[in-house]
Structure 1
Amino acid sequence: MNVLRLNTGLRTPSFCSSASKNSESETQHQKQHLPSYTEVEKLSAGLASDDKARLAVVNAFTYSPEQLLSKYLVRRIIGFGSNGVVLAALLNMQTPVAIKIIYKRKQRHSKPCPDVEALKHLNALNCPGALKYIDDWQDAFHFYLVTELFGSDWLASSPVISNTAPLFPVTFTTPNHRIANGAAEANTMISLPFFAGSCDLWAWAVLHRTHAWESSGHNHSLLPIVPIKEIIKQTASALAGMHSRGFYHGDVKLENILIQSIGGGVAIRLADFGHTQHISLGFDKYGTREISPPEMLWDSPYKMQELDGRCIDVFALGMMLYRLLNQSGKLPRAAKSVNAGMVGYHDLLKINGGLYPFGGLDDTDVEDLLMLNSMCMVDPNQRITMEQIEKSSWLQNIC
């Protein structure tokens, strides 16, 4: 098997082996050996997202050894993206957890991590559907968020999807580190399987579209409506819980919904709270530009400070529903024109009588279209609320 060995080009900290050294001098010694944030930025600049993830993992083990080599047993890399990389691990050798390594941005290098702070607060408020918070810390380069490990490996369960094999594993040698009894443990060679991630709603949709395509003799790739309704109801319920407590998610999309097979159905968890805010703090931007609503367009009559993020979550959930109803799984064509600045708010009002101009839904039932339209009205004041979605007749027979 080919193995990619990474050399970070950074000096690793010298963890003292003498138990007589006090913790303050050890901390100072480690700080003297930490590269600057600018050095790390230069090193990762231009790297592909998977190589940036590899570098992050190596640095994580180097600069957070007490957690990653003592408290948690890291088993594999289960996903990565533009904001970080996720590890599957065991807490105290028995409890499965996910450790999210979040890249520090220059503008928030010395500030608390929004994702961490939001999830801790939502857990304190007992918000249903949010991932369970377990732990967090930070080092010179990253924030770390430990949560419950949630989600089925959807792509790995399909024999017709070929991209489920792990990428080249990350293999590296850890530095000496101090363990709980004060002794120093020898350098350790670690090799972690590296998967691109397949536990979110996007992966679930890919699996089921592939199955529909194969089982229909390549006639269609439509997803079944019952599980779509189950997913929308659970997601709406989780978001309604946030909204009732005065918070909006800020980035509702397929990739931020984790989904797990339970018995004969599925369960979801909301993830990625980096754009979550309380409505009292106002609104500045939505997490993903492609799903930003019409009221954020350049000619909108609404001012940014007047916008309610909860209403924008509803529009984003509607866009998510469209992707599940549409055979291609893509956003509507109109979204491209809107995001390119070719269509404005007033244009959208005129095009379809106040309804967002969806296309590609010729095989969709009228009731499904009515729900979609009610979620994505161009005028935000005309949209249904998240609580109304959850309690709608469209979902009345869904558990």
Structure 2
Amino acid sequence: MSINTPPLSPRGSLSSRSSSLATLSPYEPLLLDGLSSVDKAKAVTAQVCQNPRITAEFQVRGLVRFDDQCVVFEARQRQSRAPVTIKVVFGANSNQELHILQQLQNNSHSVHLLDYWKDEHFCYIITDFVGSPWLKLVSQPPKNPHNQSSYTLCGWACAHRNYFQRTAGTTSIPTSLIQIVFKQCVESLLALHQAGYYHGNIKLDSFGVYASDAGPLVKIVELGTAGCITYGMERYGNVEGSPPELLHDSPFTKYQIDGRKADVFAMGIMLAGLVSEDGELPILSQPSLAGIFGYDDLIFLDGGNYPIGETVVEPSLLDLLRGMCCVDPSNRFSLERALHHQWLQF
């Protein structure tokens, strides 16, 4: 039986906003250190729209997302008209991200590096564009769509909840649709792990979702926080997905923490949010409760099972979530085991 989904063409078009973006004031790059992420994004946007190489080769069409380390734009190559992503990195060293992209160049589950260059201030990374403008389908989109990117799994989930609320009276996303996109998320992350890296910041915005005639296609699109698995891990990129082994009373040292297992935990938390009726994450993973419970508390709370919540009643799904979010990382599922779990066999 087919399931209705929000109507969206394979490649939605955005009206060009280059002219309005270019009116922002120019800036002195050395002053970026004192700016908020929003002001950094405005300053970098103004610079990009006046950059001779970018304006000669690309038509900048809009802002996709930004954070303290980078600003990401949607653009088109002027000659081929192919959609691309321009990522301007101004924070952490970009060499590792470039190295990872080069290693994943032939992998179908990752964005592909098309070009890159550096100047005295920034690194410019050009990749193929992955994603459809899901938030254009939402009657009341989030107030800040750039931090809940229209083109990622976050936008996909928002559009589908809105659609099913209007057509079926529920904000729940059908399980069969979640299975399709989540399995591709697992495959995308597994490719990164097999290359010797963990992601370090798994969340909905880590995955681009493109509406194709064959259904939603998912690729991992953000690799700026990835790290080598042999170096251990000190912190996770987002509080919601941070695993128990990084809590203050954890018995593990930095070098004993496997970033891949941390990613699995974050993927489980992400899945719990997707399958919940309103998109809420498990209560203990919410930032307001961060640090309230320690590692030992969680170990003894429910026999080592992370408290997912009472909304998940399907036994197979609950087993997968408990396996991916197991408090003890040594007992936690690997991505390979998650990929072959019964719930993802459809």
By the TM > 0.5 criterion, same fold? yes
Letter in 2 for 1:332: P
Q: Which moved more, 1:384-393 or 1:280-289?
A: 280-289
1:101 aligns with 2:88: yes
From 136, 143, 152, the counterpart of 1:200: 152
CA distance in 2, matches of 1:357, 1:163: 28
Contact 1:355 1:377 in 2 (8 A): yes
* Secondary structure class of the residue paired with 1:100: strand
**Deviations for 1:179-237, whole angstroms, at most 9, x for unmatched residues?**
xxxxxxxxxxxxxxx998401001111111112222233xx311110111111211111
Give the deviation of 1:264 after TM superposition: 4.1
CA distance in 1, matches of 2:198, 2:148: 28
- Larger of the two Rg values belongs to structure: 1
From 121, 145, 159, the counterpart of 1:141: 121
Map 1:119-158 to 2 at 5 A. Answer: 119-123=101-105, 126-158=106-138
Gaps of 5+ in 2: 1-16
Letter in 1 for 2:298: L
Q: What percent identity do the matched residue pairs reach? A: 30
**Partner residue in 2 for 1:357:** 307
> 1:337–1:263: structure 2 CA closer, same or farther, 3 Å change rule?
closer
1:370 aligns with 2:344: no
> 1:286–1:122: structure 2 CA closer, same or farther, 3 Å change rule?
farther
**Deviations for 1:89-139, whole angstroms, at most 9, x for unmatched residues?**
22242222111122x23xx4xx4444333323332xx34411111111223
Letter in 2 for 1:382: N
From 232, 240, 263, the counterpart of 1:290: 240
* Secondary structure class of the residue paired with 1:136: strand
CA distance in 2, matches of 1:199, 1:117: 24
Contact 2:316 2:342 in 1 (8 A): no
> 1:255–1:112: structure 2 CA closer, same or farther, 3 Å change rule?
closer
**Partner residue in 2 for 1:15:** none
CA distance in 2, matches of 1:277, 1:162: 33
Letter in 2 for 1:145: I
**Partner residue in 1 for 2:24:** 6
Give the deviation of 1:338 after TM superposition: 8.7
Give the deviation of 1:283 after TM superposition: 2.1
> 1:337–1:93: structure 2 CA closer, same or farther, 3 Å change rule?
closer
Instruction: Provide the alpha-carbon RMSD of the alignment.
Output: 2.7
Give the deviation of 1:268 after TM superposition: 0.5
**Deviations for 1:71-105, whole angstroms, at most 9, x for unmatched residues?**
22323333334433222222242222111122x23
TM-score, normalised relative to structure 2 = 0.85
Letter in 1 for 2:161: R
Contact 2:148 2:205 in 1 (8 A): no
From 68, 78, 94, the counterpart of 2:64: 78
* Secondary structure class of the residue paired with 1:290: coil
CA distance in 2, matches of 1:195, 1:381: 33
CA distance in 2, matches of 1:384, 1:203: 28
**Partner residue in 2 for 1:274:** 224
1:117 aligns with 2:99: yes
> 1:163–1:326: structure 2 CA closer, same or farther, 3 Å change rule?
closer
Contact 1:40 1:141 in 2 (8 A): no
Contact 1:334 1:357 in 2 (8 A): yes
> 1:196–1:286: structure 2 CA closer, same or farther, 3 Å change rule?
closer
**Partner residue in 2 for 1:161:** 140
CA distance in 2, matches of 1:7, 1:196: 25
**Partner residue in 2 for 1:255:** 205
* Greater than 4 Å deviation, 4+ residue runs: 1-4
**Partner residue in 2 for 1:175:** none
**Partner residue in 1 for 2:6:** none
**Deviations for 1:27-54, whole angstroms, at most 9, x for unmatched residues?**
xxxxxxxx562x3434xx24x62x4322
> 1:58–1:205: structure 2 CA closer, same or farther, 3 Å change rule?
same
1:390 aligns with 2:339: yes
Give the deviation of 1:335 after TM superposition: 1.8
CA distance in 1, matches of 2:148, 2:186: 27
**Deviations for 1:262-287, whole angstroms, at most 9, x for unmatched residues?**
22421111021112122122222222
**Partner residue in 2 for 1:380:** 329
Give the deviation of 1:315 after TM superposition: 0.6
CA distance in 1, matches of 2:158, 2:84: 25
CA distance in 2, matches of 1:273, 1:225: 28
**Deviations for 1:295-347, whole angstroms, at most 9, x for unmatched residues?**
11111121111111111111111011011011221221112479532210110
Letter in 2 for 1:144: Y
CA distance in 2, matches of 1:7, 1:337: 35
Give the deviation of 1:3 after TM superposition: 5.6
> 1:311–1:97: structure 2 CA closer, same or farther, 3 Å change rule?
same
CA distance in 1, matches of 2:201, 2:142: 27
How many residues are matched? 327
